[in-house]
């Protein structure tokens, strides 16, 4: 072996040893080195773009489905409220038979727990829509009976105020960059304040009716469920920190419908004038 060269001793064809120098391999060119790599091509980018477009289409279909069902629920509730408000025999009957109210409350409570806590019934068609229809009818009866104790003009005025507030909150939730879904702690604290206020109100009212305490509770309730309406609307949109699955269209409709009904009830408590 000579100095400065790398060699090994092999045998040639005649069997005599010979010295063969090992030359290091030539490094590959750039084209050869990058030929076997799987770089993203235009087709891959097109598939990614197509997937995101399909996801936006699914979200749009989900939003349209939720608001279509919600409009039907609100029309049914409006019809029941108008019937109990303008039809005097029906108003007298439901006021003289409070048992139907408690029966509808029991139906409302059972269907609400079923749709809220059990994922299978609210995702299985057509049982989810059947349960939602029963829930809507029971809550509509309760809202109609509550409205029957108030003056017709005040009921119509509160319906208009509720519609205006819900429209403004919906437009705000769709247009703003402010993420309401990230403020769950604020909503929880507000709910605790409402819970404590409700207990205080329940202890005070049997002894003496305090109008200002009742009004403060109603104002807090209207503010809370207006915030919940914005929260549920942004969950429906799906472009904030927290989102709702497109499979949960019944649950989304249930939450928004309940928010609107509670807003109307609290506005009726604030601005309504009871019948003499």
Q: For 73-83, what is each residue's pLDDT tens digit?
A: 999 999 999 89
Q: For 46-99, what is each residue's pLDDT tens digit?
A: 333 333 434 778 788 888 888 899 999 999 999 999 898 888 888 888 888 888
Q: What is the pLDDT of residue 134?
A: 93
What's the whole-number average pLDDT of the chain?
78
Q: Which domain holds residue 230?
A: 59-271
Q: For 156-205, what is each residue's pLDDT tens digit?
A: 888 889 999 989 988 888 887 877 888 788 888 888 888 888 887 777 77
Q: What is the pLDDT of residue 45?
A: 33
Residue 122 binned pLDDT confidence (cut-offs 50, 70, 90) = confident
Q: Is the dihedral of CA 28, 32, 37, 39 positive or negative?
A: positive
Q: Is the dihedral of CA 214, 196, 155, 141 positive or negative?
A: negative
Q: For 13-49, what is each residue's pLDDT tens digit?
A: 455 554 445 555 666 664 555 554 444 443 433 333 3
Burial class (CB in 10 A: 0-12, 13-18, 19+), 62: buried
Q: For 226-269, what is each residue's pLDDT tens digit?
A: 989 988 888 888 766 777 777 888 888 999 999 999 999 999 88
Nearest of 272, 182, 167 to residue 226 by alpha carbon: 167
Residue 66 within a domain: yes
**pLDDT higher than threshold 90 for residue 209:** no
Residue 9 within a domain: no
Q: What is the pLDDT of residue 252?
A: 87
* Structural domains of the chain, count: 1
Residue 19 within a domain: no
Q: What is the pLDDT of residue 168?
A: 92
Residue 208 binned pLDDT confidence (cut-offs 50, 70, 90) = low
Residue 10 within a domain: no
Residue 45 within a domain: no
Nearest of 268, 3, 38, 53 to residue 157 by alpha carbon: 268
């Amino acid at each position: 072996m000579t100095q400065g060269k790398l060699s090994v001793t092999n045998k040639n064809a005649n069997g005599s040893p010979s010295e063969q120098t090992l030359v290091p391999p030539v490094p590959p060119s750039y084209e050869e080195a990058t030929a076997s790599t799987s770089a993203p091509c235009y087709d891959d980018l097109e598939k990614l773009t197509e997937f995101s477009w399909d996801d936006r289409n699914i979200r749009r279909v989900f939003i349209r489905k939720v608001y279509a069902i919600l409009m039907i629920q609100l029309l049914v509730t409006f019809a029941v409220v108008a019937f109990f408000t303008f039809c005097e025999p029906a108003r007298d009957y439901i006021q003289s038979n409070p048992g139907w109210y408690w029966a509808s409350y029991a139906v409302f409570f059972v269907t609400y727990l079923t749709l809220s806590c059990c994922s299978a019934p609210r995702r299985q068609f057509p049982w989810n829509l059947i349960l939602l229809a029963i829930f809507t009818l029971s809550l509509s009866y309760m809202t109609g009976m509550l409205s029957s104790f108030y003056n017709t003009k005040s009921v119509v005025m509160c319906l208009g105020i509720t519609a205006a507030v819900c429209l403004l909150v919906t437009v705000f939730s769709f247009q703003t960059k402010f993420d309401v879904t990230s403020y769950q702690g604020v909503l929880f604290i507000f709910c605790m304040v409402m819970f404590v206020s409700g207990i205080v109100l329940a202890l005070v009212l049997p002894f003496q009716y305090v109008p200002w305490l009742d009004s403060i509770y109603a104002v807090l309730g209207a503010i809370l469920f207006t915030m919940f309406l914005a929260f549920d609307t942004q969950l429906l949109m799906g472009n904030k920190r927290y989102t709702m699955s497109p499979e949960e269209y019944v649950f989304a409709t249930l939450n928004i419908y309940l928010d609107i009904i509670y807003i109307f009830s609290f506005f009726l408590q604030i601005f309504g004038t009871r019948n003499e």
